[in-house]
Amino acid sequence: MKLIGVIPARYASTRMPGKPLADILGKPMIWWVYQEAKKCKKLDDVFIATDDERIAEACRTYGMEYCMTSPDHDTPTGRIWEVSTKVEADLYLQIMGDEPLINVKAFDLILPDTMPEDPYYVAVLTNRMEHPADVIDFSNQKVVTNAAREILMISRSPIPYPKGTLDFEYEKVTGIQLYSRRALAFYHETPKSILEKAEENDMMRFVENGHKVHAIVSPYKTVSVDTPKDLALVSEILKGKE
């Protein structure tokens, strides 16, 4: 079984252009993510998937393996699908490039020791949310699962609605997701689903078409860098670890 990590890195971010190259203590942000991913012994290799020569140049400068992809992908999953057509593997681990505080220990929770039986295998790490403000924040994509921890729905709204009880914990999806090669092919060949369009979550394409998406709770939390304020916070945290 071959496992590779893929870090999608798009230059044209609307809120923070050039985000993957944002400076953190003298290194680009994707360098921090790549270095942590390379610590994972289960991964056979790690690639940065980018559509921009400036990011590719940074990869060459810092000795990071990369794969050029089309600028036409509108989701990270689409970019990982293209990598799967160029780099053969059994499972592809998506590692978001804007989370430099990512912990390699989280990878062990989602990477299996043997190949899953489901040829369309998809899994995602989730975090439990501790603060009410996080639950109503639409940027946090809440998840509801069945008893087998298979996703029923992902929404930016607070789900489930607490009408009858508060005896549950809200969870949100994270940027660490796992796809089999056939699952990625299915994603590419299948049109966007209705709920996927509404919620802007591409994993709903699998759920709406009857494929299982496994949710695995992770205690390892991180900070997604979307603003200069986030960048300053992450820089201070990493500086404290040195």
- Determine the pLDDT at residue 242: 64
Q: Taking residues 209-218, report their average pLDDT.
A: 97
Q: Which domain holds residue 83?
A: 3-241
Q: Looking at the DSSP assignment, which residues form a beta bridge with residue 66?
A: 48
Alpha helix positions (H), the chain: 29-37, 53-61, 76-86, 105-110, 132-136, 181-189, 194-199, 204-208, 228-241
CATH of the domain at 70: 3.90.550.10
* Tokens linked to 123: 């899994």
3-state secondary structure of 42: coil
Q: Which pair of tokens denotes residue 13?
A: 């971010």
Distance of CA 134 to the CA centre of its chain: 19
Mean pLDDT, to the nearest integer, of 124-136?
Answer: 93
SS3 30: helix
pTM: 0.94
Q: How many CB atoms lie within 10 A of CB 48?
A: 29
pLDDT band at 117 (very low <50, low <70, confident <90, very high): very high
Output the pLDDT for position 240: 82
Structural domains counted in the chain: 1
% pLDDT > 90, the chain: 83
